[in-house]
Copies of this chain bind each other. A is one copy, B any other.
Amino acid sequence: RRRGIPEAILAEGKTPAEVAALATTALDTTGRALVTRADEATAAAVASAVGDVGPDATVERDDRIGTVVAHAADFELPSLDAAVAVVAAGTADAPVAGEAAVVAREIGATVDRIDDVGVANLDRIVDQADRVREADAVVVAAGREGALPTVVAGLVDAPVIALPVSTGYGVGGEGVAALEGALQSCSVLTTVNVDAGFVAGAQAGLIARAVDAARAE
């Protein structure tokens, strides 16, 4: 019972060979593999192992984000009639937001990325509000003081998921202030742990699945 969430392999703490082995197994058994937090060596090892196994499998690497997605030749990506917006405050938040976007897309949602709309310059997010309102679920990635999820949840009707990012130094740094800000938000929203892009994207995808199923009824 995986709820449509792809089998994901967290590369950290494993050797490239171990990750490649786990990925090919996932590919064989589920038609798909998703590797997260891979460095370049690991991503290369996965890509090569997948190529060896079946030349018809497709592999997509994003080295900035650290993800590798492999699909068997006959794998059919689900296509949900539901949209997820992934909003990011600053450049440093983009990779974590990207991980969320990949997962939501793999679950089948239409994903819209909206970057660089931090609250120190309010016009930017206000200008994008209508675009965010198109989505059935919204992920908002922000580090440091993490004010953006609160502001977005004040602008849209859809459920908002905060995704705190491990930026910032000193007290409250490494995403701690951003996480606590989500927990204390004056707006209604739920949160995941610092840098947990996979979880945020998956939860948004689960909401998209529920909406898609309801639309199909």
Question: A residues bordering B, Cβ < 8 Å?
Answer: 1, 3-5, 12-14, 82, 89-92, 118-122, 126, 136-137, 144-147, 150-151, 153-155, 157-159, 161, 164, 166-173, 175-196, 199-200, 202-203, 206-207, 209-212, 214-215, 217
Q: Contacts A155-B122, A181-B177, A206-B158 given: A200-B211 contact, CB under 8 Å? A: no
CB–CB B186/A180 < 8 A: no
Interface centre among A119, A147, A151 (most CB of B within 10 A): A147
The 9 closest A-B pairs by CB, nearest first: A172-B180, A214-B214, A147-B147, A170-B194, A170-B193, A177-B180, A190-B190, A145-B181, A183-B193
Question: B193 near A206 (CB under 8 angstroms)?
Answer: no
Copies in the complex: 8
- Mind listing 28 A-B residue pairs with CB under 8 Å? A14-B91, A82-B214, A119-B147, A119-B151, A119-B186, A120-B151, A122-B126, A122-B154, A137-B210, A145-B147, A145-B185, A147-B186, A158-B210, A166-B170, A170-B179, A170-B196, A171-B176, A171-B193, A172-B181, A172-B193, A173-B184, A176-B180, A180-B180, A181-B181, A183-B192, A185-B199, A210-B211, A211-B211
- Of chain B, the residue at the smallest CB distance from A198 is B188
A interface: dominant SS: loop
In whole angstroms, how far apart are the Cα atoms of A184 and B170 in the complex? 8
B155, B157, B172, B189: which contacts A184 (Cβ < 8 A)? B172
- CB of A176, distance to nearest CB on chain B (Å): 7
Chain B residue numbers with a CB within 8 Å of A172 are 179-181, 183-184, 193
Q: How far is the CB of A55 from chain B (nearest CB, A)?
A: 29
